[in-house]
């Protein structure tokens, strides 16, 4: 295999790692701003506690990506840095403010100050702006609007990314970060607090935003095995949230039908065909892991998507 292909695969691995780990990190700030209900304080404390040991280290993946590109593709890095100077600068500044907000908030609490709204606001706002800016830059890179002439960028500072696709891609990245955080938090919480995080993960809009980012055309989806309405019992409060968002039929008493909720979310944004594989993961221990059934003893299950 050619060296440049190996380098590209290494860089892509870094991007994926940053998206997974850094994305969940950014999502914690998003949800700290959107925490609501009688357990809002508990939600924020759980989020801060979860990211506390790792929030400084996740950006190592960003450094890794830049180093690989600098070593293997210095010309491409220079062109991308020129064409995408605005969104990349916004993203980097956001990282600085986000880290400062989180650090000063914790130091203030250790000093006996229980409420530090300014630092929390800075942390939350930067947690939204930063992944959005990086998502816009990534969308612009794949959008084909960066123009070169004799090795020099000729598309300007704004034209490459001021298009619907990069903007929608940035919004999708923000939703994906929010979804990742809620997915992780369901394994780091219990009781009603876990149901709060589970609900917010579905309400993050990642399904709708992903469909919108795919653009026009025929879009079909398949909903794979998941915990079924037979086993997914939640609190009355969470069930009421599902009814308001997706219709009364998605919840029978305190049991919620996640398949139907996801199908309706897809239908709202124009997905013309949705197939449901109604196999409950909780009812089939011989086939699937289930966090709820096994009380936290779980493995990993995969998903496959295709664009054609």
Ordered by start, the domain boundaries in the chain are 3-215, 222-308
Higher pLDDT, 113 or 63: 63
pLDDT score for 130:
95
Q: Please give the mean pLDDT across all residues of the chain.
A: 83
* pTM score: 0.73
Q: Give percent above pLDDT 70 in the chain.
A: 87
pLDDT at 255 over 90: yes
pLDDT score for 269:
73
pLDDT score for 119:
82
pLDDT in tens, 53-84: 777 788 899 999 999 999 999 999 999 999 99
Residue range 209-223: mean pLDDT, rounded: 70
Residue range 206-213: mean pLDDT, rounded: 63
pLDDT score for 10:
94
In DSSP terms, 116 is beta-bridged to: none
Name the band, by pLDDT with cuts 50, 70 and 90, for residue 209.
low
pLDDT score for 73:
93
């Amino acid at each position: 295999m050619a060296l440049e292909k190996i380098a590209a695969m290494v860089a892509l691995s870094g991007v994926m790692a940053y998206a997974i780990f850094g994305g969940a990190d950014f999502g914690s700030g998003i949800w700290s701003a959107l925490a609501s209900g009688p357990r809002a304080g508990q939600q924020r404390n759980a989020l801060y506690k979860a990211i506390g040991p790792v929030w400084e280290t996740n950006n190592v993946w960003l450094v890794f990506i830049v180093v690989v590109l600098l070593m293997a593709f210095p010309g491409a890095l220079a062109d991308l840095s020129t064409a995408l100077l605005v969104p990349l600068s916004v993203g980097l500044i956001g990282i600085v403010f986000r880290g400062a907000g989180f650090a000063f908030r914790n130091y203030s609490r250790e000093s006996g100050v229980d409420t530090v709204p300014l630092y929390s606001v800075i942390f939350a706002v930067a947690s939204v702006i930063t992944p959005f800016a990086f998502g816009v830059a990534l969308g612009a890179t794949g959008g084909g609007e960066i123009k070169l002439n004799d090795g020099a960028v000729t598309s300007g500072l704004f034209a490459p990314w001021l298009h619907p696709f990069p903007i929608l891609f940035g919004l999708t990245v923000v939703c994906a970060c929010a979804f990742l955080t809620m997915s992780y938090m369901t394994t780091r919480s219990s009781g009603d607090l876990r149901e709060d995080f589970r609900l917010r993960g579905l309400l993050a809009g990642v399904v709708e935003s992903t469909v919108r980012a795919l653009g026009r055309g025929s879009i079909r989806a398949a909903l794979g095995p998941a915990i079924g309405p037979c086993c997914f019992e939640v609190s009355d409060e969470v069930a009421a949230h599902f009814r308001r968002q997706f219709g009364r039929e998605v919840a029978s008493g305190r049991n919620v039908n996640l398949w139907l909720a996801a199908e309706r979310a897809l239908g709202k944004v124009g997905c013309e065909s949705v197939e449901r594989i109604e196999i409950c993961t909780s009812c089939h221990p011989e086939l699937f892991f289930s966090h709820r059934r096994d009380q936290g003893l779980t493995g990993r299950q995969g998903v496959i998507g295709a664009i054609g």
